[in-house]
A and B are shown apart, each in its own frame.
Chain A
Amino acid sequence: MRKLTAYNFLALNGFFKGPNEDTSWHTHGAEEARYSEEALAQDASILLFGRKTYEMMVSFWPTPQAKELFPEVAAGMNKAEKFVFSKSPFEPEWENTQVISGDIVEKIREIKKSPGKDMTILGSGTIINLFTDHGLIDEYQFMIDPVALPDGTPIFKNIKQKVALRLTGSKVFNSGVVLLNYQPINK
């Protein structure tokens, strides 16, 4: 059984995007970049996105600017195998990307049963909510910024039921960001 992880940057009050999709509040510290580099360098996971997050990612990571600012992370992101969920199929411009459309819950359930790499969802609130409702997520990893936003998009929205969690790890970064790892208990 492949493991499915959801990895996200959150404000202290549960938003993963501020007003107008703003993510500038997130601390992109050097230490966090190293953590992402190390995770990507292991090349252990397929990266999963919803369409919106994919559009955001593809507009940044393949650019010269990304290669200059975060060379290791950009190389890792570009090289990694990627799945993007989309209501309708499209031709992805990002390298190593496969589009999954149709009944994505059933498709991910099948993929989890098949042999292969683990998977990590980045961003993608809609996908996280859908997969949470179907009990498909094995681990949540949240990078919590020391900021409370006035408004924005909550990472969990309209989930069908509460999710009880087991705390499996925590890590503090110099920037004040706290990484928290949880597994759902009903697993």
Chain B
Amino acid sequence: MRKVIVCNIMSLDGYYEGPGKNVMVLFDYRWDAYPTDESFDAYNAERLRAADTLLLGRVSYEGFKGFWPSVADDPKATPIQREISRLNNAIDKVVISDSLTSEETDPWHNTRIIRRADAHEQIAELKRQSGKEILVFGSHTLWNDLLANDLVDELHLMIGPVVLGAGTPLFDGRPPISLRLIDTRTWDGSGNVLVRYEVSRQKT
């Protein structure tokens, strides 16, 4: 039985991204106060090393695919970003989408497309297989649905040192979610706090 682990960054006031779906506002202020902070990249790489499947919604998949493939060979990228790029390129990817076609997965040919109607059943099946962790980055629409359907095992949230006041909420307003704190982590030279939670299983 494998775990589905959701790994996301959020603002202190619970936003997934700022107004206009701008995710960069979560990082803007960090560079001023914490110019050498690599904790977000370092933790993402740590999770990728522990996973063998990257599970994504279409928007995050296309965003990542438009950015990460070439970073491995970019001399201007940091070593940790080049590692993330290599890990992202190598890992098996699963995308939940009704519109994406296999031609559109280039250059990430190790991508499997699952239609939305089959998502719960197929993800439950993936969880039953043996292997490493199933990792979700971004993809808040997808994982809120999985969370409501008891298919998420852990939430690893990095709380960034910024209050946005507006934007896309991280949680989409489903029934209350009870969590159990696993642990927290902070880094020297970073304003991020990693809080890791186990999702309390629903009683059946």
A and B: interacting chains:
yes
Listed residue (A132, A159, A162) with the most chain B CB atoms within 10 angstroms of its CB? A162
Which chain B residues border A155 with CB–CB below 8 Å?
Answer: 13
Residue among A146, A150, A151, A161 making CB contact with B197, cutoff 8 Å: A146
Bound: A142/B162 CA distance, A? 13
**Interface flag for A12 (CB, 8 Å):** yes
Residues 166-187 of A contacting B (Cβ, < 8 Å): 166-167, 170, 172, 176-178, 180, 182, 185
Residue of A nearest to B187 (CB): A167
Q: Can you offer 17 A-B residue contacts whose CB atoms are under 8 A?
A: A11-B14, A14-B13, A14-B14, A14-B15, A18-B176, A144-B195, A147-B176, A148-B170, A150-B173, A164-B32, A165-B161, A166-B191, A170-B184, A178-B181, A178-B195, A182-B12, A185-B33
A-B pair count, CB < 8 Å, reads 108
In the complex, per-residue mask of B157-199: 1 if CB is within 8 Å of any chain A CB, else 0: 1010111110001110111111111011010001111010100
A167-B191, A167-B193 given; A180·B159 CB < 8 A: yes
B: number of interface residues (CB 8 Å): 38
Bound: A157/B13 CA distance, A? 10
**A13 & B171 in contact (Cβ 8 Å cutoff):** yes
**A172 & B163 in contact (Cβ 8 Å cutoff):** no
Residue among A154, A167, A177 making CB contact with B13, cutoff 8 Å: A154
Which chain A residues border B184 with CB–CB below 8 Å?
Answer: 170, 172, 178
**Interface flag for B25 (CB, 8 Å):** yes
Bound: A148/B14 CA distance, A? 9
Which chain A residues border B32 with CB–CB below 8 Å?
Answer: 164, 185
Bound: A180/B13 CA distance, A? 12
In the complex, per-residue mask of A63-82: 1 if CB is within 8 Å of any chain B CB, else 0: 00000000000000000000
A146-B197, A150-B173 given; A12·B179 CB < 8 A: yes
**A159 & B163 in contact (Cβ 8 Å cutoff):** yes
Distance (whole angstroms) from the CB of B97 to the closest CB of chain A: 25
Residues 133-167 of B contacting A (Cβ, < 8 Å): 157, 159, 161-165
Distance (whole angstroms) from the CB of A137 to the closest CB of chain B: 11
Bound: A144/B193 CA distance, A? 12
Ranked nearest first, the 10 interchain pairs of A and B with the lowest CB-CB distance are A14-B14, A164-B29, A176-B181, A13-B14, A14-B13, A159-B165, A165-B161, A148-B177, A163-B163, A146-B179
Bound: A58/B162 CA distance, A? 33
A12-B14, A156-B165, A157-B165 given; A178·B193 CB < 8 A: yes
